[in-house]
Structure 1
Amino acid sequence: MLPTTSSFFTGVLAALYAVAGLFFLGFWRRTRDALFVSFSLAFLLLALNQIVLALGGLEREEQSWVYVLRLLAFLLIIGAIVRKNLEGRRR
């Protein structure tokens, strides 16, 4: 794939992650549910991950420190789901 095509798709993906993060932030503002703010932060971390990849010119993301951003995002999602399920059992 050409470098410009790759950068274009990385930018599109970053924008879509940011839109998803803002979408969940809107849900959080209406409900004040911690699940939505966790999802929002996770998607914003994924957007940041893509921005760093595009601007940094890193070819192998899995061998760089940037992978930690993606790992944190997924840990946030998993933690939010587990927390929500434990809250449901307590009620």
Structure 2
Amino acid sequence: MIANNLSMVLSGAVAMASFATTLFFVKFWRQTSDVFFLLFALAFGIDTISRAALGLTHVSNEIEPVFYLLRLAMFALIIAAITVKNRSR
């Protein structure tokens, strides 16, 4: 029971950090209008939702792939942001 509570607290802390990172990238996107920052903000926004949902739900084997798909989408957005940024040079 204690391990489950600790896991929920840590998931919440990671979700909070991801949300702060999302706000950081949104701020720079609004200042520069660079797609790189927008894609990173979207990626960390997805991570925020994923981590918060993971902390608030009891994960069964049936639901678990959904969280991995969200992380896959997050990393795909990060790769897309880097690719777009490097192609613009």
Q: TM-score, normalised by structure 1?
A: 0.88
1:32-88 deviation digits (Å, cap 9, x = unpaired):
00000000000010111101111122166xx42111111001000000100110111
Aligned length: 87
Identity value in percent = 35
Larger relative contact order (Cα-Cα within 8 Å, sequence gap ≥ 6): 2
> Which residue in the other structure is 1:41 paired with?
42
Residue identity matched to 1:78: I
Query: Which residue number corresponds to residue 66 of structure 2?
Result: 65
Q: What amino acid is the match of 2:20?
A: V
Uncovered stretches (5+) of structure 1, i.e. residues with no partner:
none
Is residue 83 of structure 1 aligned with residue 84 of structure 2? yes
Give the equivalent residue in structure 2 for 1:29. Answer: 30
Structure 2 vs 1, CA of residues 85 and 77 (structure 1 numbering), >3 Å: closer, same or farther? Answer: same
Kindly report the root-mean-square deviation, in angstroms, between the aligned alpha carbons of the 2 structures. Answer: 1.7
